[in-house]
Amino acid sequence: MSEQAKPVGLTIVYTGDGKGKTTAALGMCLRAVGYGYRVCIIQFVKGSWKYGEIDGIKRLEPEVEFYRMGKGFVGIIDDQLPFEEHQKAAMETLVFAKEKLASGKYDIVILDEINVAVQLGLIEVEKVLELIRIKPEKVHLVMTGRGADSEVIEKADLVTEMREIKHPYQKGILAQKGVDF
């Protein structure tokens, strides 16, 4: 039997226009909890909507801490907030994420929808690259959201692009509880 490799914290990006980016990160979270690892999940853009994963993640406490920091979807659906409020919330979330990442308390830190925050101009890509630079050696940093910046992709150790081939919405089937949210 071969000796197990020394743990190295990876920078992982799940991006693309297809479904499954947050789901992939949550799958990693579930696997990690199975090994007794500590996970911190911080959401940048998703706001006050009800998602099944919120209650599901609560069942994984105390190994998993979950923080919903964004003010919701920016400029779409029912967003009534000025852009500056979204920007302020994203900057506060970034500072919070930096503190959690550096705390030494977690094995995995998931920054859900951080790529979207960059794409929307809520935070600068340089701030995300700084997170990658300061990431402790043994901590896995996972970043999700469509439209990952090319510089983030370049610095990451693992990048997976979700590509939509087919979607039930094209047949008029709306998002379903427990499957889509």
* Residue 177 pLDDT exceeds 80: no
Predicted TM-score (pTM) of this structure? 0.90
175 compared with 115, residue with greater pLDDT? 115
40 compared with 5, residue with greater pLDDT? 40
pLDDT of residue 31: 97
* Residue 157 pLDDT exceeds 80: yes
| pLDDT-derived band at 1, boundaries 50, 70, 90 | very low
> Mean pLDDT highest for which of 2-16, 69-83, 145-159, 165-179?
145-159
pLDDT of residue 176: 83
Report the relative pairing of strands 140-144 and 11-15 from DSSP bridges.
parallel
Over residues 107-125, the mean pLDDT reads 96
Q: What are the boundaries of each domain within the chain?
A: 11-154
Maximal C-alpha separation, the chain = 59
Look at the domain 11-154 and name its fold: Rossmann fold (3.40.50)
Q: Which residues contact 2 (CB under 8 A, 6 or more apart)?
A: none
Share of the chain above pLDDT 70, in %: 91
* Residue 2 pLDDT exceeds 60: no
For residue 163, the Cα-to-chain-centroid distance in whole angstroms is 17
| pLDDT-derived band at 103, boundaries 50, 70, 90 | very high
pLDDT tens for 42-96 read 999 876 667 788 889 999 999 999 999 876 666 566 667 777 888 999 999 999 9
Six-digit token string for 32: 């990690």
Over residues 107-130, the mean pLDDT reads 96
Six-digit token string for 11: 């920078």
Comparing 3-7, 127-131, 135-139, 174-178, the range with the smallest average pLDDT is 3-7
Six-digit token string for 135: 């990431």
Asked if 98 and 129 touch (Cβ cutoff 8 Å), the reply is: no
157 compared with 178, residue with greater pLDDT? 157
